[in-house]
Amino acid sequence: MNFVTIEYLLFLVAVFVIYWHLKRTAQNVFLLGANWFFYCFWDYRFLSLVMATATIDFIVGRKIDASDDPRVRRNWLLLSLGYNLSALFYFKYCNFFIDSFVTMANGLGWSVSQPLLNIILPAGISFFTFQSLSYSFDIYRREIKPTRSYVEYAAFVSFFPHMVAGPIVRAREFLYQIEVERHFSGKMFEAGLVRFIYGMLKKALIADTLGLYVVDPIFADPSAHSPATLWLGMLAYMVQIYADFSGYTNMAIGSAMMIGFILPENFRYPYLATNISDFWRRWHMTMSRFFRDYIYISLGGNRAGEWKGYRNALLTTLVSGLWHGANWTFVVWGLMHGVFTVVYQYYSRHFKAFQRPGQPVRVLLSWLLTHFLVGIAFVIFRAPDFGVAGEYIAGMFVGQGVQTVELSGLIGVCFLLFVADHVYGWAQERELAWASWSHPLLRGAFYAVALVFLFNFVPKEANPFIYFQF
């Protein structure tokens, strides 16, 4: 059940109406049922996997908490880790590693046949396994106490707004909300509704239009397109993936707010970043936070010295790349970001003289360089393989292609909306007065026009959310 469908809207309205007519305990049971119903719409075959994940980590959490013996606690944590990572590995990476091994073996001259398994990727597995895993980790680190209610825990793991594509919510951010009485708040409903509409505008209009009319045709045959078109394609993809994922996040956060839950933010105007570390503080923030807390810091972070800190950063981004999908292009994308981050950290540590504040030209150059590198990395992320990626990047500089794409007014509107979104973010961050000014009539008119605009201009052949595949 895609968020941009009439089915989801009807589902959300039904959940909203029934949910607020129930008492807290019944609300939680109902929510769990709604979550499972929602997941069944995606793929009922894997509901048992979601249930098993919730059940195992619920038991593990209680066992870890009940023991003071470090060995026992560690063993229970290993069980949780083993189960979640095995499930993730089997469903997401099994074919990838078999395929890579066979390719490598054949490259070395060994004759190995390819026993590819017919494995289907369960929707949202990268998200719900990580969320459940964070619960065991946090209890192990004594940062939270385990919940007593299985219903509440299972409702957290499978909470429908964030289940399939995040944001990655930690148990400590959610469980306290589900354990207490929830009261309808008009302000929260209003904020949620507005977030939802705005998210829909980003996803269904900006992302789908650019994807369908600019990005997909260009990436389908990069060598045929002119260098200027390839640059445009890269920019369009940067906007598409941002609008797609942050649009989804807005809809997820908005849906949750309407039924009284606060989910963490996932994006903070990432293309305002002026360096690569800043970019990762703004892009897919809940994933960055997860990898920072559970991998980077577990590896020792930057406490073990400068070079080990670089190694840890590199490893963390590498894993983050692999998390995105079972393809070497994602691994290289992660590795590139690791290298960018390490170079930036080295630069900021050793070239402080160049970083005095109040240098607008330096900031502008830094901003341009950051997003040029992010864009190039996104080309590799988007390309189906390295051949296409190489062709694309080479074509941007020395391409001989002449084909262009037809630029309609609608594409211009999409770029304009994206720029307006970031300019608004820029003004908000600087606390400019006009950024906080909004007359209710003006806002109402904007959202009403957005609704009608969406209805008329959303491409019929809409793409699924990009992050659903992860």
Active site residues: 324
Q: Does 364 bind other proteins (CB under 8 A)?
A: no
Size of the site for other proteins (CB under 8 A): 27
Binding track, positions 200-239, relative to other proteins; x by CB under 8 A: ----------------------------------------
Is position 109 an interface residue for other proteins (rule: CB under 8 A)?
no
The CA-atom distances, in angstroms, between 443 and each of 190, 197, 248, 431, 447 are 12, 12, 21, 19, 6
* Token output for 368: 């341009």
Q: From 147-155, 183-191, 303-311, 371-379, give the range in contact with other proteins by CB under 8 A.
A: 183-191
435 in contact with other proteins (CB under 8 A): no
Tell me the C-alpha distance between 144 and 138, whole Å: 6
Select from 245, 391, 382 the least CA-distant residue to 327.
382
Burial 346-373 (b: 16+ CB within 10 A, else e): eeeeeeeeeeeeeeeeeeeebbeebbeb
Question: Could you say whether residue 441 binds other proteins (CB under 8 A)?
Answer: yes
Burial (CB count <10 Å: 0-12, 13-18, 19+), residue 446 = middle
In the complex, the smallest distance separating the C-beta of residue 182 from other proteins, rounded to whole angstroms, is 11
* Residue 448 sits in the site that holds other proteins (CB under 8 A): yes
Report, in Å, the least distance between residue 21 CB and other proteins: 6
| Residues comprising the chain, all counted | 470
Q: Which of residues 9-68 bind other proteins (CB under 8 A)?
A: 20-23, 26
Options 108, 113, 187, 353; binder of other proteins; rule CB under 8 A: 187
- d(CA 53, CA 35) in angstroms, rounded, equals 14
Q: Which of 96, 189, 323, 426 binds other proteins (CB under 8 A)?
A: 189
Residue 326: DSSP 8-state: S
Which of the ranges 88-96, 141-149, 186-194, 209-217 carries the binding residues for other proteins, by CB under 8 A? 186-194
> How many whole angstroms separate alpha carbon 212 and alpha carbon 351?
44
Longest CA–CA separation in the chain, Å: 71
> Residue 205 in contact with residue 4, Cβ under 8 Å?
no
Q: With binding defined as CB under 8 A, does residue 461 bind other proteins?
A: no
Residue 33: CB minimum distance to other proteins, A: 14
Q: Is residue 447 at the binding interface for other proteins, with CB under 8 A as the rule?
A: yes
| Contacts to other proteins by CB under 8 A | 20-23, 26, 183-187, 189-190, 193-194, 197, 440-441, 443-445, 447-449, 451-452, 455-456
